[in-house]
Amino acid sequence: MARPRVFVSSTYYDLKVIREDLDRFITSFGYEPVRHERGHISYGKEEKPEEYAYREIDYCDILVSVIGGKFGTAAMGSDYSISQQELKKAHELGKQVYIFVDSNVLSEFKYYQANKDVKGVKYTAVNDSRVYSFLEEIYALPKGNPIFSFETGTDLTTVLREQLAGLFQRLLVEDSNKIQTSLTHELQRSLQTVDQLVKFLTDEKTKGGTAVQEILFSNHPLFESVRGLTRTKYRVYFTNLIEFNSWLDASRGFTPIEETEWDDPGFMEWVRDISGKNKKEIELLWVKKELFLEDGQLKPLSPASWKDDWVRIERRETSKISNFDEDIPF
């Protein structure tokens, strides 16, 4: 199982005990501490060691920065120290950082702010005023700069314990909110669809309600039923019985049967010859009469109201139908 990796950033010799405390604390949480003195950073031969330290931050989840009174080793081509650059790198990558500053340094920092432009001022809590100038930069950051004061390793680990617990709780809440956010977005899309439909119906109301019929017609279940039964590969569409008859005759070879010859008065009938060389056969198509109005117009109908037995097709051998040959209109 993957474990969160926590990069420990600080000067080494003056904060060695603090680093050991952090190592034990991070390990007790089941996380993986990353410290250069323990060989956790993989150094190569192509670049200077500090570049590999910065690169290792890419593969860490959290950075704990501990700032004491020592400036530390200067970074290459920079006015910052290596530990300062590590913190800057983590912030640029958007990593979760926790910054701890020695209480004596924080106390004198206020004195520095009041006297930083005065020449010859001596500071007792730090060995280089650049520690204070870097603190000014940290405080000036718009986000991602939680700063805590500490005196002992216990102070530091107590705060970290509370912060990590809060981070875990926040991640659980955010994960739970993802479902609610997804539902909210889906609801917004549905509302937009309804809004578009309402606008369409409002714009079309001058047509005397034909807008609703047009919507229902575009998905009329009779079209798909007839298309499937007649093995038609393209979309079928008609608005009245005349158009339906024309399509059946021209495209599928069905001819209407007179109403007096229907097997069931509730179903209109069509017939087509499918005879082969050795057998005379016909196909009969039945369509529910009530699907059309008295004037021959197709009734609007939703798919939910459809019944499959309203349209059916059957193949018959004409030899089994007495006197039927005389009635076939071809």
Average pLDDT over residues 46-61: 87
* pLDDT at residue number 77: 85
What three-state secondary structure class fits 219?
coil
- What angle, rounded to 10 degrees, do the helices at 130-140 and 103-115 form? 90
Q: Which of 64-73, 190-199, 313-322 is least confident?
A: 190-199
* pLDDT at residue number 325: 46
Greater model confidence, 195 or 8: 8
With 60 as the cut, is the pLDDT of residue 13 above it? yes
* Digit-coded pLDDT (tens) for 196-217: 665 665 665 555 555 556 665 6
Amino acid occupying residue 107? S
Spatial CB neighbours of 186, under 8 Å, sequence gap ≥ 6: none
* pLDDT at residue number 43: 72
With 60 as the cut, is the pLDDT of residue 321 above it? no
Spatial CB neighbours of 58, under 8 Å, sequence gap ≥ 6: 93
With 70 as the cut, is the pLDDT of residue 119 above it? yes
Architecture of domain 5-176: 3-Layer(aba) Sandwich (3.40)
pTM, 2 dp: 0.54
Greater model confidence, 208 or 227: 227
* Digit-coded pLDDT (tens) for 235-293: 898 989 999 999 999 988 999 999 999 999 999 999 999 887 777 889 999 999 999 99
* pLDDT at residue number 49: 81
* Digit-coded pLDDT (tens) for 54-97: 989 999 999 999 999 999 999 988 899 999 999 999 999 999 99
With 60 as the cut, is the pLDDT of residue 326 above it? no
* pLDDT at residue number 209: 55
Say which residue the tokens 């097709």 belong to: 313
* pLDDT at residue number 322: 45
Cα torsion 107, 108, 113, 114: sign: positive
Domain extents in the chain: 5-176, 213-327
The CA distance from 108 to 131, in Å, is 11
Average pLDDT over residues 300-315: 89
* Digit-coded pLDDT (tens) for 134-178: 999 999 988 888 999 999 999 999 999 999 888 888 878 777 676
Bridge partners (DSSP) of residue 292 are 298
Q: What are phi and psi of 293, to 5 degrees?
A: -75, 175
